[in-house]
Amino acid sequence: MGQWDAGRAAQGERLAAGAALATGKAVPRDHVVALLEAVIRPFDRVCLEGDNQKQADLLAAALAAVDPGKIHDLHMVQSGVVLPEHLDVFESGVARRLDYAYSGPQAGRIAKMLFGGRIELGAVHTYLELFARYFIDLTPNVALIAAVSADRDGNLYTGPNTEDTPTVVEATAFKSGVVIAQVGAIVDRVPRVDIPGDRVHFIVDAGKPFYVEPLFTRDPGAITETQILTAMLAIKGIYAPYGVKRLNHGIGFNTAAIELLLPTFAERLGLKGKIATRFALNPHPTLIPAIESGWVEQIHCFGSEVGMDGYIEARSDIFFTGPDGSLRSNRAFCQTAGLYACDMFIGSTLQIDLDGNSSTVTTSRIAGFGGAPNMGSDARGRRHPSEPWLKAGREADPDGAPALRRGRKLVVQIGETFGEGNAPTFVEKLDALALAEKLKLDLAPVMIYADDVTHIVTEEGLANLLLCRDRDEREQAVRGVAGYTEVGRGRDRKMVQRLRERGVIKRPEDLGVDVLDADRSLLAARSIKDLVRWSGGLYKPPSKFRNW
Amino acid sequence: MEKLTFRHTTAKAAAGTKREAIVGVVASGNLEVLVERVLPERDCEVDIATAAHGFGAVWSAVVADFVERYSPGGLRLSINDGGARPDTVALRLAQGVRTIEELGD
């Protein structure tokens, strides 16, 4: 018989090497680099916890400081490439291969390093997809995670920003891996046990909280009239006719505008209780007025949001909270909820092509996917009916046998026809294709595939792609809402007119929306300070959003 | 600074009696539109001063659509543009016409 527990034996050796530096499970901060050198082996798969929100920043800096002579050629399997240290390890040769999901602020540098061959890229994933692979073929040997506090036994309190931690720990600890946690404090008793101590091997007192980016805060003061108009079209043209109650909102000013129109514009349309009641969503500050006005019944969160913790604690009827009162988020569960239990995803993008494929990649920036392609896709495994899902299915296939016809998730791309720096949102060819050619990738990094997109909303109008019967119609429906971009000006005017007569394209006037009513006075909150006021002072915005 | 002028003949005269209106602001990504009722009632002129060069074709399309939809006869619209996007331009032009169509002063 061969050996059947080599992994466990190796785990024992690693733990013994680390234990030499620890008192119990606690390792002093100034020994953390030595701990990593003792526990990690060359060519290991390492998960350095970090996503678009929370960061194991102390452990990231420590990994960047290890001796590449001892630790090299690591395979990093992590949600986010966000901190400079996440890429420094590839510069120094500590790491070589990368599988990840999101790279927001490092999008420019990661593109350069991929072109320069400094990083061997496995794939760019969605969060849920990467988590899935942790259990099949990307299981970490070592996980470097972040928690709010720990007790001496290693029980962790991960608090409102629990996010990815339970998933990462599950995959690592139960497959003979080593889990190292940085914590903001070591305490006698944690407020609640988010991660049981027997799954945590070492704890390092960072002496400060882990970093969290306020990624989901949008200042209502920066919302434009065009975004308000586009939000009005989405509410009247999609939320209302489909009766969308269960949904996810992407990040951005367009969806922030929708959130701020619920208690005003949508309320006047009599839609309260009929739309937007249950969300898979981070605690967006711009949703506070709708929550306070009684619009929202329930929200499950991927993570928390800086400044929202006190508000959430005081609204446990709406949010998922622990016995300590604070939010419990969980990215894997929330992504699953967004995939299977929501009838709509609505979000913005950087580029949309003539078929309706969309991408946030430009030739010099690879931002990754995060969760949008998961939420913004039709769940083929879904079996429970709901009115919006059935109606969308009917529109896509009016002649199908009703009892055998799949419903469709509403996947809505919303945005202005021109984005930052007057770059057109609509293009003949996605930059993602040029990137795929340059990097010799099998797949272009497409955020949302054309066959998943059901609607496109711009300031010019709304295109319902479910009603298009062939590729030509689809192209003209896209061109027909592409405004004054080259794609928009290249439309076949007669065909666009026919699509409008069939209701495939709807203009503001077709929906009874007067362009000139798109005014900032329609927003339930017009500043961050207004949001604080709506929350009764419970929302504490981070200083970069305070201008008073 | 690029200067562009577009002249159109309109289907009818703009409503109202107000002589002058101003909408918008001069700011980055925004624009100011001065509307004056100074031309023969079927003429319209749009004068543009813009910091962004090379967008003549887009301006031409935006102005042509505006004239077709709002029939702004008799009006001269002077635009001071801070690099606004076409959708913002179209909105401000529409606001300009609506404002001058109010009863005169």
Residue written as tokens 């496995």? Answer: A122
SS (HEC) of A402-419: HHHCCCCCEEEEECCCEC
Cα distances from B39 to residues B36, B46, B65, in angstroms, run 8, 11, 20
Q: Do domains A12-212 and A343-506 have the same CATH topology?
A: yes
**Residues of B at the A interface (Cβ-Cβ below 8 Å)?**
52, 57-58, 61-62, 83, 85-88, 91, 94-95, 98
What CATH number belongs to A12-212?
3.40.1080.10
pLDDT in single tens digits along all 548 residues of chain A: 689 999 999 999 999 999 999 999 999 999 999 999 999 999 999 999 999 999 999 999 999 999 999 999 999 999 999 999 999 999 999 999 999 999 988 999 998 998 888 999 999 999 999 999 999 999 999 999 999 999 999 999 999 999 999 999 999 999 999 999 999 999 999 999 999 999 999 999 999 999 999 999 999 999 999 999 999 999 999 999 999 999 999 999 999 999 999 999 999 999 999 999 999 999 999 999 999 999 999 999 999 999 999 999 999 999 999 999 999 999 999 999 999 999 999 999 999 999 999 998 877 788 888 899 999 999 999 999 999 999 999 999 999 999 999 999 999 999 999 988 788 999 999 999 998 898 888 999 999 999 999 999 999 999 999 999 999 999 999 999 999 999 999 999 999 999 999 999 999 999 999 888 899 999 999 999 999 999 999 999 999 898 76
**To the nearest whole angstrom, how far is the Cα of B72 from the nearest Cα of chain A?**
16
Q: Which of A367, A196, A198, A283 is nearest to A541 (CA)?
A: A283
| CA-based R_g, chain B, Å | 13
d(CA A520, CA A522): 5
Contacts of B98 in chain A (CB under 8 A): 516
Beta strands in chain B (DSSP E): 2-9, 20-24, 31-37, 43-50, 75-81
**To the nearest whole angstrom, how far is the Cα of B14 from the nearest Cα of chain A?**
17
A343-506 has which fold?
A: Glutaconate Coenzyme A-transferase (3.40.1080)
Per domain, the residue ranges of chain B are: 2-101
Output phi, psi for B96, to 5 deg.
Answer: -60, -45
Cβ-in-10-Å burial (0-12, 13-18, 19+) of A110 comes to buried
Cα distances from A241 to residues A213, A258, A513, in angstroms, run 36, 16, 15
- Among chain A residues, the shortest Cα distance to B28 is held by A421
8 Å CB contact between A395 and A402: no
d(CA A395, CA A407): 9
Per domain, the residue ranges of chain A are: 12-212, 214-224+244-342+520-537, 343-506
Asked if B57's CB is within 8 angstroms of A225's CB, the reply is: no
- Among chain B residues, the shortest Cα distance to A460 is held by B87
- The minimal CB distance from A225 to the residues B52, B62, B91 is found for B91
- Among chain B residues, the shortest Cα distance to A415 is held by B87
d(CA A451, CA A350): 18
Asked if A417's CB is within 8 angstroms of B94's CB, the reply is: no
Residues 396-415 of A with CB under 8 A from B: none
B2-101 has which fold?
A: Ribosomal Protein S5; domain 2 (3.30.230)
Residue type, B2: E
**What sections of A382-485 are H helices per DSSP?**
387-396, 431-439, 471-479
8 Å CB contact between B23 and B95: yes
